[in-house]
């Protein structure tokens, strides 16, 4: 990670977008930061936590986004500038709190929420757009167009939030969050943070300070006034600007990373003198005067934005208010089909849209280019599907789950959840996961399935959840299962890390974000205290794990918990040497013959095992093999040998 | 039989309720696994050209003439009880064996003798647990063998345990098997398995008489009705008793056969073999003579062992009364006729005998 706390104003640093945001927050003088990890947002809190002690701020990985937001609001109420960060899914988790926070207003410390959207859902279950949510929650929202803006906007957002007295959102996307660029630094504040919850709000009337959403209609009215104030400020914001000819043939209205794609497209088409770009940084509330001034520059307007037609719809609303005889440009974008309303946008798509609108012939590249590029890329990349790491405990767990469900014979299935183990919906987990929605959703779905006995339902249900996800959102579903006697087995994949997002600590790890040792919240003690029957398995012991799962599925009664306890291999490997050195006894390996049909490289699919087609034998890839030894128990011929390393 | 694999085994045998739970497809195959009365396909195996699970299943095509030719040097004949060298009644001279035995203790005696003589180093048997669930077991001494004496009447995938023995294991083996399992072993003998067990090591096959077997589900039924830990012995006395007896320390309780018939393996209705016709020695009860076994000697290996037992006075041997032999033949013929009719009823075609490769003449005769 970059050095975000460096005190060198006016120098340039190479930052990823998330580090730029974190730096912006430091320059704004935040004292409190809370987040739940989620790609592509995790590095914001990650980088703040690393420097928190040194800088004298507080940073935490919260149990979930809701608590992160609430905790940050608490700090704001006591006068501390605070930040909450999350990925787009997290916004749903906090939306209930936000819907009330906008009514109560924030405290003396400005409060900013960073939401990182993930167009194309590269590391997500969906590609939800935060912008419409800001609109329906009446929250001002801004979006940086590059790394410098990511830093500058964040810094400015705290001033704005404090002035308005309401939470403000900075929306980022993967290509801003994770791409890297130069950022010119500003000053770091030297002010000492003092936290105090002012009991008296108004000295004249001796009114106590409250953050209560009632009376709601009045508070709602006040909120709209705050939004109007924000709109007024946005009208002259330097984050909104126009670049292009006075009378362009086509006006592009864009924001965020799409601004960069639009510039590339115009450059590639050499249309700098024909096409103009109106780049917006403050998206909600829309600076209507500023936009109106530009929207009639051309009779053709193209909206280039990722995911939802947010700017497009907002500008169309604006156009609806134009005087009856005013000239109306033709709008192009998602509604017209020129820009996709799903997935990421790239310069090619923008080029295609511009070319179509302006009737240009443009061949962006050699027709066979994509094929050639693919071939070139493949020549350097081992052919491998998306899978668990070599030595990952999840592979072993899903092997046992698969076998247990098959042996049980009642057509049981797995309800899945969010984490590395989401990959179990594919070959990595032997296609075991049948439902997947949101954090904790798998256990919730299992609650319903587990109550269908009266309708003849006898299929065993296994809800699979990671350790971090268990703490995040599964506990209420577990309590519900125990309370309402729903018949399912909750399998907690306890690898002692929030592995998918970068091994952030959680309540079960005994470590805080700032590296301090803390109390371990024992999941088994918690589950047992709720009255659940709890078993703890070592997933590497395939037989015992399978037997335990079979027993739990066969047992009557309500919700049961099986904890699969094995440290994430990536964490373990950093601390210890591999437990085993693996090799193949080629005399015993029967390869594709009857009695094996290369079970290890065809079904088990650990990347540490490779099929030597020429020899007709399996082979250990010594670079990748982590020496976990599980495959020795999978091999039906005893041909995979583990020796103590 | 070419080009058939585990998926065909599942559709033609397992899902068609023809599976006898003999265990022949399990034990050294990672895809097929036995659990609680069912063979399960865990993953898809792509072998369709040399799938031994399909090949050695006693309910996939079986060429009776070829097997008989291999084992007895002659085509499959018309005898109701198969190829016979000798038939008699016998019982163990060892009182400890007799006390533990289901009937006369002949099986345990022959196994222990074969061990002592060095003919075998161990035997694949069925062992019942304290709560009377049966499981395959590799017995390696006389104590082990005594523990396996007695019958549970429930199907048990004994051959799955056999298959777990590696090909390079040099120990010679005996197997005590039901007729369906004896058929599977016979199939292995005519076309020895690749990458699997060394069938040449099986030196003694003792086949049991069987009219039908009970599904392992029966165990659940018994468990619900009895304290199984107190059970000493199960017995289905010969007709016309028509009951299933359970002996405990405190006495005997009985279930009418009608009550337990629903637990019989559906596949038994399609089985023609009552006396384990391809075994070395076949052993059963003797109608009207408690504490004795009917013994059919079929092969040279079987005859040699019996001869040793006779010489060493391990067995007390007597003549099988003529009327008993007649009854045995009648019963065996009745099973053949019934089963063949069931097969034809199921296939709907007299020329389609499902798995059975029987000569047209014999088919015609049995269906008559």
Same domain, A81 and A205: yes
Cα(B256)–Cα(B261) distance, rounded to whole angstroms? 9
Same domain, A175 and A196: yes
Cα(A226)–Cα(B196) distance, rounded to whole angstroms? 79
Of A594, A636, A637, the CB nearest to B52: A594
Reported ipTM: 0.91
Q: Which of B10, B30, B47, B52 to probe by mutation at the A interface, max A CB count within 10 Å? A: B30
Contact B47 A592 (CB under 8 A): yes
Q: Sort strands B251-256 and B281-285 into parallel, antiparallel or unpaired.
A: unpaired
End-to-end CA distance of chain A: 33
Cα(B205)–Cα(A137) distance, rounded to whole angstroms? 80
Torsions phi, psi of A72, nearest 5?
-65, -40
Question: Is residue A372 assigned to a domain?
Answer: no
Question: Is residue B93 assigned to a domain?
Answer: yes
How would you class A200 by CB atoms within 10 Å of its CB: exposed for 0-12, middle for 13-18, buried for 19 or more? exposed
Chain B residue with CA closest to A546: the answer is B35
Three-state secondary-structure class, residue B277: coil
pLDDT at A561 over 50: yes
End-to-end CA distance of chain B: 29
Same domain, A250 and A305: yes
Which tokens is A457 given? 């339902």
Q: How many residues does chain A have?
A: 645
Domain containing B96 equals 75-217+261-342
Which residues in B have their CB inside 8 Å of a CB on A?
A: 28-31, 33, 35-36, 38, 40-43, 45-47, 50-53, 166, 194-196
CB atoms closer than 10 angstroms to residue A203: 7
Q: What is the pLDDT of residues B15-46, one digit of tens each?
A: 999 999 999 999 989 999 999 999 999 999 99
- CATH at A587: 3.30.70.20
Question: What is the distance, to the nearest Å, from the Cα of residue A118 to the centroid of all Cα atoms in its chain?
Answer: 7
Q: A640 vs chain B: nearest CA distance in angstroms?
A: 14
Which tokens is A345 given? 């946008």
Same domain, A82 and A187: yes
A307 within 8 A of A261, measured Cβ to Cβ: no
Characterize A247-271 residue by residue with b for buried, 16 or more Cβ atoms within 10 angstroms of its Cβ, and e for exposed: ebbbbbbbbbbbbbbbbebbebbeb
Chain B residue with CA closest to A402: the answer is B42
Closest CA to A396 of A544, A592, A252: A544
Cα(A205)–Cα(A208) distance, rounded to whole angstroms? 9
- CATH at A544: 3.40.50.970
pLDDT at A369 over 90: no
**DSSP string spanning A289-343?**
HHHHHHHTT-SEEEEE-SSS-HHHHHHHHHHHTS-TTS--PEEESTTTTSS-SSS
The torsion defined by the Cα of B105, B107, B111 and B114, in degrees rounded to 10, comes to: 100
Residues of B in contact with A403 (CB under 8 A): 33, 42
Question: Is residue A254 assigned to a domain?
Answer: yes
B302 within 8 A of B280, measured Cβ to Cβ: yes
Total domain count for chain A? 4
- Percent of chain A having pLDDT more than 70? 99
Question: Is residue A31 assigned to a domain?
Answer: yes
Of A406, A602, A636, the CB nearest to B40: A406
Question: Is residue B56 assigned to a domain?
Answer: no
Estimate the crossing angle of helix A17-27 against helix A42-55, to 10 degrees: 40
Same domain, A555 and A589: no
User: Which pLDDT value is given to residue B309?
Assistant: 97
On whether any CB of chain B is under 8 Å from the CB of A636, the answer is yes
A200 within 8 A of A254, measured Cβ to Cβ: no
Same domain, A153 and A25: yes
Q: B94 vs chain A: nearest CA distance in angstroms?
A: 41
Same domain, A217 and A277: no
Torsions phi, psi of A540, nearest 5?
-70, -20
- CATH at A329: 3.40.50.920
Which tokens is B135 given? 């499981």
Question: Is residue A5 assigned to a domain?
Answer: no
Question: Is residue B22 assigned to a domain?
Answer: no
Question: Is residue A2 assigned to a domain?
Answer: no
User: Which pLDDT value is given to residue B264?
Assistant: 95
Contact B47 A550 (CB under 8 A): no
Q: What is the pLDDT of residues B244-293, one digit of tens each?
A: 999 888 888 899 999 999 999 999 999 999 999 999 999 999 988 989 99
Of B30, B36, B40, the CB nearest to A636: B30
Torsions phi, psi of A472, nearest 5?
-65, -50
Q: Where are the beta strands (DSSP E) in chain B?
A: 32-35, 38-41, 62-63, 86-92, 122-128, 134-139, 173-177, 202-208, 231-235, 243-248, 251-256, 281-285, 293-297, 315-318, 356-357
Total domain count for chain B? 1
Same domain, A450 and A503: yes
Q: Where are the beta strands (DSSP E) in B133-260?
A: 134-139, 173-177, 202-208, 231-235, 243-248, 251-256
Q: A514 vs chain B: nearest CA distance in angstroms?
A: 46
pLDDT at A637 over 70: yes
Considering A187, A216, A235, which residue would you say is the last residue of a domain? Answer: A235
Cα(A301)–Cα(A329) distance, rounded to whole angstroms? 6
User: Which pLDDT value is given to residue B1?
Assistant: 46
Contact B195 A596 (CB under 8 A): yes
User: Which pLDDT value is given to residue B171?
Assistant: 93
Chain B residue with CA closest to A591: the answer is B195
Query: pTM for this one?
Result: 0.93
Contact B28 A595 (CB under 8 A): yes
Considering A305, A333, A358, which residue would you say is the last residue of a domain? Answer: A358
Domain containing A632 equals 580-644
Contact A594 B41 (CB under 8 A): no
Contact A597 B33 (CB under 8 A): no
**Alpha-carbon torsion (B94, B100, B106, B110), positive or negative:** negative
Chain A residue with CA closest to B52: the answer is A594
Taking one residue from A and the other from B, the number of pairs with CB-CB distance under 8 angstroms is 60
On whether any CB of chain B is under 8 Å from the CB of A592, the answer is yes
Q: B47 vs chain A: nearest CA distance in angstroms?
A: 6
Residues of B in contact with A550 (CB under 8 A): 35
Contact B42 A403 (CB under 8 A): yes
Contact A403 B51 (CB under 8 A): no
Same domain, A123 and A193: yes
What phi-psi label fits residue A97: left (phi over 0), alpha (psi between -120 and 50 degrees) or beta? Answer: alpha
In the numeric block, the tokens 């023809």 are attached to: B18
Torsions phi, psi of A254, nearest 5?
-150, 175
With cut-offs at 50, 70 and 90, classify the pLDDT of residue A371: confident
Same domain, A67 and A207: yes
Contact A593 B50 (CB under 8 A): yes
Closest CA to A271 of A354, A215, A192: A354
Residues of B in contact with A409 (CB under 8 A): 35-36, 38, 40
pLDDT at A280 over 50: yes
Same domain, A151 and A266: no
Cα(A147)–Cα(A145) distance, rounded to whole angstroms? 7
Q: What is the pLDDT of residues A209-265, one digit of tens each?
A: 889 999 999 999 999 999 999 999 999 999 999 999 999 999 999 999 999 999 999
**Element (H or E) spanning A617, and its range?**
strand A617-620
Q: What is the pLDDT of residues A448-500, one digit of tens each?
A: 999 999 999 999 999 999 999 999 999 999 999 999 999 999 999 999 989 99
**Element (H or E) spanning B190, and its range?**
helix B179-190
Question: Is residue B17 assigned to a domain?
Answer: no
Q: A628 vs chain B: nearest CA distance in angstroms?
A: 20
Contact B38 A409 (CB under 8 A): yes
Same domain, A343 and A258: yes
Contact A590 B36 (CB under 8 A): no
Question: Is residue B361 assigned to a domain?
Answer: no
Which tokens is A267 given? 């450059």
């Amino acid at each position: 990670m970059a050095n975000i706390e460096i005190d060198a104003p006016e120098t340039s640093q190479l930052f990823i977008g998330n580090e730029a945001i974190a730096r912006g927050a430091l320059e704004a003088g935040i004292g409190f930061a809370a987040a739940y990890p989620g790609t592509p947002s995790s590095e914001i809190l990650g980088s703040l936590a690393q420097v928190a002690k040194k800088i004298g701020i507080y940073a935490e990985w919260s149990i979930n986004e809701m608590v992160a937001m609430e905790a940050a609001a608490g700090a704001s109420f006591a006068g501390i500038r605070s930040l909450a960060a999350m990925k787009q899914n997290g916004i749903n988790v906090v939306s209930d709190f936000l819907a009330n926070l906008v009514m109560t207003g924030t405290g003396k410390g400005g409060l900013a929420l960073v939401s990182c959207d993930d167009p194309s859902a590269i590391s997500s279950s969906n590609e939800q757009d935060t912008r419409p949510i800001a609109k329906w929650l009446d929250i001002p929202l801004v979006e940086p167009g590059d790394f410098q803006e990511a830093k500058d906007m964040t810094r400015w957002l705290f001033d704005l939030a404090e002035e308005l007295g309401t939470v403000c959102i900075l929306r980022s996307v993967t290509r801003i969050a994770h791409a890297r660029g130069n950022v010119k630094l500003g000053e770091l504040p030297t002010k000492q943070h003092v936290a105090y919850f002012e009991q008296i709000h108004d000295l004249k009337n001796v009114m106590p300070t409250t953050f209560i959403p009632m009376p709601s209609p009045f508070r709602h009215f006040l909120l709209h006034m705050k939004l109007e104030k924000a709109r007024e400020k946005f009208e002259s914001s330097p984050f909104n600007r126009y670049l292009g000819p006075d009378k362009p043939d086509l006006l592009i209205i864009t924001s965020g990373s799409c601004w960069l794609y639009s510039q590339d497209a115009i450059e590639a088409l050499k249309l700098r003198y024909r096409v103009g770009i109106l780049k917006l940084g403050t998206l909600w509330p829309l600076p209507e005067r500023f936009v109106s001034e530009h929207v009639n520059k051309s009779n053709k307007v193209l909206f280039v934005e990722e995911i939802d037609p947010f700017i497009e719809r907002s500008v169309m609303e604006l156009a609806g208010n134009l005087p009856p005889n005013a000239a109306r440009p033709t709008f192009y974008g998602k509604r017209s089909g020129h820009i996709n309303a799903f997935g990421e946008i790239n310069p090619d798509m923008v080029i295609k849209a511009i070319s179509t609108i302006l009737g240009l012939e443009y061949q962006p590249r050699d027709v066979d280019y994509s094929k050639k590029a693919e071939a070139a890329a493949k020549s350097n990349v081992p052919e491998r599907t998306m899978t668990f790491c070599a030595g990952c405990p999840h592979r072993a767990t899903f092997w046992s789950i698969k076998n247990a469900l098959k042996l049980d014979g009642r057509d049981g299935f797995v309800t899945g959840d969010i984490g590395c183990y989401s990959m179990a919906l594919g070959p990595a987990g032997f296609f075991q996961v049948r439902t997947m929605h949101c954090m904790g959703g798998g256990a919730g779905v299992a609650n319903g399935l587990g109550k269908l006995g009266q309708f003849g339902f006898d299929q065993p249900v296994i809800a699979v959840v990671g350790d971090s996800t268990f703490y995040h959102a599964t506990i209420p579903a577990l309590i519900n299962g125990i309370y309402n006697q729903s018949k399912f087995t909750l399998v907690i994949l306890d690898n002692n890390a929030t592995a998918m997002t970068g091994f952030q600590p959680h309540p079960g790890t005994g470590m805080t974000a700032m590296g301090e040792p803390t109390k371990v919240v024992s999941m088994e003690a918690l589950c047992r205290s709720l009255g659940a029957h709890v078993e703890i398995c070592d997933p590497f012991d395939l037989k015992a794990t399978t037997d335990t799962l079979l027993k739990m599925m066969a047992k009557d009664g309500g919700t049961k918990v099986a904890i699969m306890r094995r440290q994430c291999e990536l964490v373990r490997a950093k601390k210890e040497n591999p437990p085993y050195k693996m090799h193949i006894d080629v005399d015993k390996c029967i390869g594709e013959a009857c009695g094996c049909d290369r079970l290890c490289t065809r079904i088990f699919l650990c990347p540490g095992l490779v099929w030597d087609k020429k020899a007709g034998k399996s082979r250990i890839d010594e670079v990748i093999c982590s020496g976990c030894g599980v495959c020795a128990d999978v091999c039906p011929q005893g041909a995979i040998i583990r020796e103590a390393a | 039989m070419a080009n058939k694999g585990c998926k065909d085994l599942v559709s033609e045998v397992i899902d068609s309720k023809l599976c006898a739970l003999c265990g022949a497809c399990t034990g050294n195959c990672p895809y097929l696994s036995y659990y609680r009365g069912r063979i399960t396909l865990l993953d898809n195996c792509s072998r369709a050209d040399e799938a031994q699970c399909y090949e050695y299943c006693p309910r996939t095509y079986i060429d009776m003439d070829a097997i008989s030719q291999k084992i007895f040097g002659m085509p499959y004949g018309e005898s109701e009880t198969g190829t016979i060298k000798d038939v008699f009644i016998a019982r163990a001279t060892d009182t400890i064996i007799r006390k533990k035995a289901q009937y006369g203790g002949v099986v345990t005696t022959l196994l222990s003798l074969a061990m002592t003589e060095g003919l075998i180093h161990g035997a694949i048997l069925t062992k019942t647990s304290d709560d009377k669930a049966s499981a395959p077991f590799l017995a390696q001494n006389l104590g082990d063998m005594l523990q396996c004496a007695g019958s549970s009447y429930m199907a048990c995938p004994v051959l799955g345990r056999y298959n777990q023995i590696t090909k390079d294991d040099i120990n010679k083996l005996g197997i005590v098997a039901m007729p369906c399992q004896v058929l599977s072993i016979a199939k292995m003998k005519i076309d020895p398995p690749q990458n699997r067990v060394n069938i040449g090591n099986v030196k003694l096959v003792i086949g049991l008489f069987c009219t039908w077997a009970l599904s392992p589900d029966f165990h659940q039924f018994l468990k619900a009705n009895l304290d199984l830990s107190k059970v000493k012995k199960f017995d289905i006395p010969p007709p016309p008793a028509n009951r299933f007896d359970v002996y405990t320390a405190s006495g005997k309780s009985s279930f009418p056969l009608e009550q337990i018939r629903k637990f019989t393996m559906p596949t038994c209705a399609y089985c023609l073999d009552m006396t384990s016709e391809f075994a070395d020695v076949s052993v059963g009860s003797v109608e009207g003579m408690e504490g004795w076994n009917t013994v059919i000697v079929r092969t040279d290996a079987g005859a040699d062992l019996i001869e040793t037992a006779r010489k060493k006075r391990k067995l007390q041997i007597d003549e099988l009364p003529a009327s008993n032999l007649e009854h045995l033949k009648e019963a065996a013929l009745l099973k053949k006729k019934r089963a063949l009719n069931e097969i034809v009823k199921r296939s709907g075609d007299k020329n389609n005998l499902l798995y059975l490769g029987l000569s047209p003449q014999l088919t015609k005769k049995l269906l008559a």
